[in-house]
Amino acid sequence: MAKIISIANQKGGVGKTTTSINVSSLLAAGEKRTLLIDIDPQANSSSGIGISNHNPSVYEVLIGTKKINEVIISTYMPFMDILPSNINLVGAEIEMVDFPNRETLLKNTLLEAEQNYDFIIIDCPPSLGLLTLNALTASHSVLIPVQCEYFALEGLGQLLNTINIVKQHFNTSLSIEGVLLTMFDSRLRLSQQVAEEVRKYFGDKVFKTVIHRNVRISEAPSYGKPIILYDAVSTGSKNYMSLASELLERNEIKSK
């Protein structure tokens, strides 16, 4: 059965989508059957691997007009599929409010697909609304990207509170997969200070891997490619390779 990991932080611009795309592609490169779910109305994970305005999308799956296996599509990478998003998802939270069991819509639909994968990675929107709640309820764990910038820890308490609420009411087994330091600039004292603060707060939950600021990572989505296909020897590519290895190692240990 698949390990389901949500990548979440209600702050925008912390590297959720970049991490979702690159972790998924590198797990797939390691021949792990991987499904990337784009549950963000901005649909950046979809466009980041070259899929734009795809219909049907995760929206139809959530409101129940399509089965998940009818909407999942293959990508140009072997072992990697995607459940794409599009702008229609903007209205989904309003429609879902009146649904019975609205917090478990994604969890219930994933039952039809999870046996086909080793990993399912969910790219969450930058909010703590019903879409993120669905992702957390469906997941085994949460990976939290934290940017090494001023105000990095602001709002994290709110996210941790949401995770605790989900654990109490909808998903007792939800855990923190790890905290990922992103946009690290070794030349800046601020980056070092934020990294120290995050490690002090989260301890061994912080990944050893740090994602450095790297222009190649920023460029890759505009070509519809993960960093491994855009520039395999870049710092960003090496960082995400290291993260994927660490993720696999952690899950191997947990499964023993």
pLDDT of residue 91: 87
Q: How far apart are CA 100 and CA 144, in angstroms?
A: 29
Angle at 213 between CA 208 and CA 217, to 5 degrees: 100
Q: How far apart are CA 203 and CA 200, in angstroms?
A: 6
Ordered per-residue pLDDT tens for the chain, 256 residues = 899 999 999 888 899 999 999 999 999 999 999 999 999 999 999 999 999 989 999 999 999 999 999 999 999 999 999 999 999 999 888 899 889 889 999 999 999 999 999 999 999 999 889 999 999 999 999 999 999 988 888 888 889 999 999 999 999 999 999 999 999 998 889 999 999 999 999 999 999 999 999 999 999 999 999 999 999 999 999 999 999 999 999 998 665 4
Q: What is the CATH number assigned to the segment(s) 3-255?
A: 3.40.50.300
* 3-state SS record for the chain: CCEEEEECCCCCCCCHHHHHHHHHHHHHHCCCCEEEEECCCCCHHHHHCCCCCCCCCHHHHHHCCCCHHHHCEECCCCCEEEECCCHHHHHHHHHHCCCCCHHHHHHHHHCCCHHHCCEEEEECCCCCCHHHHHHHHHCCEEEEEEECCCCCCCCHHHHHHHHHHHHHHCCCCCEEEEEEEEEECCCCHHHHHHHHHHHHHHHHHEEEEEEECCHHHHHHHHHCCCHHHHCCCCHHHHHHHHHHHHHHHHHHHHHC
Q: How far apart are CA 47 and CA 223, in angstroms?
A: 9
Q: What is the value of pTM for the model shown?
A: 0.96
Angle at 80 between CA 93 and CA 210, to 5 degrees: 80
**Cβ–Cβ < 8 Å for 19, 135:** no
Q: Which one-letter amino acid corresponds to residue 189? A: R
pLDDT of residue 150: 83
pLDDT digits (tens, 9 = 90+) for 2-29: 999 999 998 888 999 999 999 999 999 9
Q: How far apart are CA 203 and CA 233, in angstroms?
A: 30
pLDDT of residue 253: 65
pLDDT digits (tens, 9 = 90+) for 228-256: 999 999 999 999 999 999 999 999 866 54
pLDDT of residue 152: 83
Q: How far apart are CA 45 and CA 51, in angstroms?
A: 9
pLDDT of residue 80: 98
